[in-house]
Amino acid sequence: MAIRNRGGKWHFRFNQDGKEYAGTTGLAATQQNVNQALMMELEYRQALMNGLRPNRRIAVREFAAAAKDFLSWAEGHYVEHPNSYQRVATSFVSLKLFFGKEPVSLIDPGRVEAYKTWRTKEHKVRPVTLRHDLHALSKFFGYAIKQRWTRENPVREVDIPSDADAVRMHILSAAEEKEYFKRAAKSKNLHDCGRLMLNQGIRPDEAVCLLKKDVDFDRGTLFISFGKTPAARRVLNLTSESRLILGRRMAGPSPWIFPSSKRRPQRHIKRLNSAHDRLCAKAKKDKIDFQFVLYDFRHSFATRAAQSGIDLATLAAILGHNSLRVVQKYVHPTEEHKKAAMIRFERAMKAEQRKQDRKENRPDRPNQSNFM
């Protein structure tokens, strides 16, 4: 028999014209699947004899079952970015509900368009939420292709809301900031995480993954050691408030700034988000409506930094981005900011003009009359 059990799957190996060929059928190594595995091995042989490239057979997998495997993989893939994993997991709540038991290989662009319509009409989601859903679905199909559950990614043929259409962020006012942190004082982790994000522009997952050894009080710096790109792994200069917060949290045997019994950033972020949601719910009862999420502290930092005069290239380095285009979506100049910028521009132009006028009127400047 040309098939063999390897890792619980039927594999095949044979020689053809002096060359060895091997592969997997993808079928579970059970007696029930023997005949089908042998047929697949025969089809592979015949394709080679006919000078064709053998097609790898697609395994039929229901979407809901496949999604479970994908989310298990994604949890490890995004281990350093728990917010990203949480966003993907949130999207899959509705994706599993819609696609359910449909075979992954039969989901085409038309079905994805139907999902978009259903999500918009039934759940009244905004473009940013739909954008997240479709990106999560596209990531799933990339994984599904590698698992041979399908051959194509139908999301590539579907329009996804653009960055401009999908912007969802809130820049905190001074009054909102004051009221929020007065209420957050009872939740030390929430308070300190929010303040560090607002002071340093770090992401929530970067905050909860901070190590004590990465804080250098002598130099006044903080090293962000987690991140997929070189730009994300960066050194930040600490504000005075950040130094005080980090100094308070250095005590204790844990190597982490935000200690936890089990080092799982996803759970840490989930607890912080839950604490934030509870604070907002209580505030709403007092007629104070906080319409923002934890990540908006980072958005607020970026906008305030730009308004203070920090150039976009420097701001990109502080935020851990390698693209100015990405940074631009964080920055939202107000009318007052634009007016002040034009005033500064006009002053600079007038100062330059006065400087040129003084050069032209200097007594030691040679002119044509001296040589006539």
Contacts with 192 (C-beta within 8 Å, 6 or more apart), sequence order = 245, 248, 249, 258
Look at residue 250 and give its three-state secondary structure: coil
Burial of 60 (0-12, 13-18, 19+ CB in 10 A): exposed
pLDDT of residue 297: 95
Instruction: Say whether both 189 and 322 belong to one domain.
Output: yes
Is residue 79 domain-shared with residue 191, that is, in the same domain? Answer: no
Full domain range(s) for residue 149: 63-157
Q: pLDDT per position in the chain (372 positions), as tens?
A: 578 898 888 888 888 888 888 878 778 888 888 888 888 888 888 888 887 766 667 888 999 999 999 999 999 888 877 778 888 999 999 999 999 999 999 999 999 999 999 999 998 888 888 999 999 999 999 999 989 899 899 999 999 987 655 556 788 999 999 999 999 999 999 999 999 999 999 999 899 889 999 999 999 999 998 776 788 899 999 999 999 999 999 998 999 999 875 656 667 888 898 999 999 999 999 999 888 889 999 999 998 888 788 888 899 999 998 878 777 776 666 677 677 778 878 888 888 888 888 887 766 555 544 444
Q: How many domains does the chain have?
A: 3
Inside any domain, residue 288: yes
Could you give the residue ranges of the DSSP H alpha helices within 165-295? 174-184, 188-200, 204-208, 240-248, 265-285
Same domain membership, residue 142 and residue 232: no
Same-domain check for residues 195 and 305: yes
